[in-house]
């Protein structure tokens, strides 16, 4: 029993470190058996640098072994060890492993920081800081992520370690991006981009530009979002990083959906989802299924709910707390449309707790939109108005234009139902102005329809 627990602990450490592709390679070898480098890289779409980083980690844990076969050219094959096969059979939910393993790594880092520094210890400290930045971010501990990033910047700078320095700036940028802090996100990501491009770390540069694209998408600057998604795709192609390319395609698809180009959006997102499924890129699928559900929602609520439920399921398996909350919030919208208020409120309650813990203001605003819609259905006008006004206030504070437009549209509809046509018209006209700025054709049409219905009464 102790041997199994020890094996789980080591597996947990590996999943925290998460060199890109580690889990993908492990699961690939479980399915395919002994495979050569070219086959693994071609099917998983992993760039050379990430491949060797991941396989080195798997070998160090004793989960994978390497075999060189004679001939010209010499071919290198990988296969699971017995311990690797056991690891695959006994994988436990990632979130639980993350929590257990983070504490152990934090204790080790504290011991190293308090002791005498040596070159070997400095390298281990950087490795632990890198692992813990990723783990803390996944667990929603963003203040801790920023603290670790600052420590890593200081140590990596003193050692002139560009790769770890870029990684630290990138994770700080990720936190600021989630908080809609454009200035700090841009400052950190620009530093990471400078290092990544100077050192020809193309997959790193791709990730930096993707995060910037997502930042501008969140704040409603869709044109700048497109610019950075294009750059992300270009760098992914330079790195032969198919996951990065599919991720950028997903971003394009979301923007097309926001602009009302549903068919084009669906085509791009479906292509990205197929690529992720083909590559067994499990850490990308929660978002991808969620995006597919959001695009489908406008014309097939039942199908959309299926995608959101898949997103939630994957997010629970991978421990992605934030993506689980996204799926729950979106599933709630489907249940509201179906009239299943009890189920909608259950989803909203769980999602709201997570978003509050993460201080995800735009998504907290969306929770209040959903609650406002539920109260509107129940004709609880005061409660509905309070929810919409909270959503509007939070969206304005977070500069979340997409959420602000949605809140105003639904608030205007509620006021219309309540019979307050004058105020409804004013609110809807403001929503229309925002959707025009965002070039959201579908939302423009919906708002115009609501305004026309006012005139016909």
Return the domain boundaries, the chain. 2-89, 365-455
Lowest mean pLDDT among 41-55, 220-234, 346-360, 423-437: 41-55
Residue in the structure block whose two tokens are 């923007």: 255
Closest residue by Cα to residue 266 from 243, 240, 291, 290: 291
Q: What is the mean pLDDT of residues 232-247?
A: 92
Q: Is the pLDDT of residue 335 over 70?
A: yes
Cβ burial of 165 (10 Å; 0-12, 13-18, 19+) is buried
Q: Are 34 and 78 in contact (CB under 8 A)?
A: yes
Residue 100: pLDDT band with limits 50, 70, 90: low
Mean predicted confidence (pLDDT) in 365-369: 96
Q: How far apart (Å, rounded) are the C-alpha atoms in residues 234 and 455?
A: 49
Longest dimension (CA), the chain: 83
Beta-strand relationship, 64-69 and 75-80: antiparallel
How long is the chain?
457
Q: Does residue 1 carry a pLDDT above 50?
A: no
Residue whose C-alpha is closest to residue 359's, from 103, 95, 181, 102: 181
Beta-carbon count within 10 A of 254 CB = 24
- Give just the sign of the alpha carbon dihedral 237, 240, 242, 243: negative
Of residues 220 and 185, more confidently modeled: 185
Q: How many helices and strands in the chain, by DSSP H and E?
A: 23, 3
pLDDT of 372 above 90: yes
Which fold does the domain 2-89 belong to in CATH?
Answer: Arc Repressor Mutant, subunit A (1.10.10)
Cis peptide before 73 (omega within 30 of 0): yes
Give CATH for domain 365-455. 1.25.40.10
Instruction: Tell me how far CA of residue 442 lies from CA of 81, 254, 257, in angstroms.
Output: 53, 13, 8
DSSP 273: H
Bridge partners (DSSP) of residue 35 are 78
How much of the chain exceeds pLDDT 90, in percent?
A: 56
d(CA 141, CA 175): 9
Nearest CA among 90, 2, 77, 81 for reference residue 37: 77
pLDDT digits (tens, 9 = 90+) for 16-36: 345 556 777 887 787 777 888
- What pLDDT does 10 receive? 42
Q: Whole-angstrom Cα distance, residue 91 to residue 10?
A: 11
Task: List the beta strands (DSSP E) in 205-261.
Answer: none
Confidence of residue 257 (pLDDT cuts 50, 70, 90): confident
Instruction: Please state, in angstroms and as integers, the Cα–Cα distance from residue 175 to each residue in 76, 85, 145, 358, following that order.
Output: 39, 36, 8, 10
Q: Which positions ≥6 away from 266 have C-beta within 8 Å?
A: 253, 257, 292, 295, 296
Which of 10-14, 309-313, 352-356 has the weakest average pLDDT?
A: 10-14
The pLDDT-based confidence of 97 (bands split at 50, 70, 90) is: low
The mean pLDDT value of the chain amounts to: 86
Nearest Cα neighbor of 437 from 411, 392, 399 is 399
- Given a contact cutoff of 8 angstroms between Cβ atoms, the answer to whether 62 and 81 are in contact is yes
Share of the chain above pLDDT 70, in %: 90
* pLDDT, average across residues 362-377: 96
Beta carbons within 8 Å of 276's beta carbon, 6+ residues apart = 243, 246, 284, 285, 288
- Among 45-54, 234-243, 313-322, 386-395, the range scoring the smallest mean pLDDT is 45-54
Nearest CA to 64 out of 90, 92, 34, 21 is that of 34
Residues 6+ apart with CB under 8 A from 435: 405, 409, 443, 444, 447
Contact 33, 7 (CB under 8 A): no
| Of residues 181 and 43, more confidently modeled | 181
* Reported confidence tier of residue 60, pLDDT bands at 50, 70, 90: confident
């Amino acid at each position: 029993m102790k041997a199994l627990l020890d094996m789980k602990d080591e597996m947990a450490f590996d999943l925290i470190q998460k060199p890109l592709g580690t889990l993908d390679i492990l699961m690939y070898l479980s399915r395919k058996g002994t495979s050569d480098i070219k086959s693994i890289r071609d099917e998983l779409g992993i760039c050379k640098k990430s491949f060797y980083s991941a396989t080195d980690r798997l070998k160090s844990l004793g989960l994978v072994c390497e075999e060189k076969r004679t001939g010209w050219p010499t071919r290198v094959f990988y296969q699971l060890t017995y311990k690797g096969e056991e690891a695959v059979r006994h994988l436990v939910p990632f979130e639980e492993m993350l929590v257990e393993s983070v504490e152990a790594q934090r204790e080790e880092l504290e011991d190293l920081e308090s002791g005498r520094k040596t070159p070997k210890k400095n390298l281990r400290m950087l490795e632990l800081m890198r692992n813990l930045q990723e783990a803390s971010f996944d667990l929603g501990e963003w203040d801790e992520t920023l603290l670790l990033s600052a420590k890593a910047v200081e140590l990596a700078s003193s050692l002139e370690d560009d790769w770890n320095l870029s990684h630290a700036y990138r994770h700080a940028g990720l936190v600021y991006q989630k908080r809609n802090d454009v200035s700090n996100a841009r400052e950190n990501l620009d530093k990471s981009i400078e290092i990544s491009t100077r050192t020809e770390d193309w997959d790193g540069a791709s990730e930096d530009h993707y995060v910037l694209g997502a930042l501008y998408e969140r704040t409603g600057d869709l044109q700048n979002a497109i610019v950075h998604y294009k750059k992300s795709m270009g760098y992914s192609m330079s790195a032969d990083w198919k996951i990065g390319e599919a991720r950028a395609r997903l971003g394009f698809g979301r923007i097309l959906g926001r602009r009302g180009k549903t068919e084009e959006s669906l085509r791009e997102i479906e292509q990205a989802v197929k690529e992720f499924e083909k590559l067994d890129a499990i850490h990308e699928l929660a978002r991808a299924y969620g995006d597919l559900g959001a695009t489908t929602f406008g014309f097939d609520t039942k199908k959309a709910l299926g995608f959101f439920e898949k997103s939630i399921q994957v997010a629970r398996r991978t421990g992605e707390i934030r993506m689980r909350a996204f799926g729950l919030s979106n599933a709630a919208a489907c249940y509201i449309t179906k009239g299943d208020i009890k189920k909608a409120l259950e989803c909203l309650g769980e999602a709201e707790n997570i978003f509050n813990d993460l201080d995800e203001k735009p998504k907290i605003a969306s929770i209040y939109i959903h609650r406002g819609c539920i109260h509107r259905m129940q004709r609880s006008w005061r409660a509905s108005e309070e929810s919409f006004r909270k959503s509007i206030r939070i969206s304005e504070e977070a500069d979340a234009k997409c959420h602000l437009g949605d809140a105003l549209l639904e608030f205007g509809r509620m006021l219309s139902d309540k019979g307050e046509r004058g105020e409804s018209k004013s609110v809807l006209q403001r929503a229309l102005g925002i959707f025009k700025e965002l070039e959201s054709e579908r939302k423009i049409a919906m708002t115009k329809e609501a305004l026309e219905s006012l005139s016909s009464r």
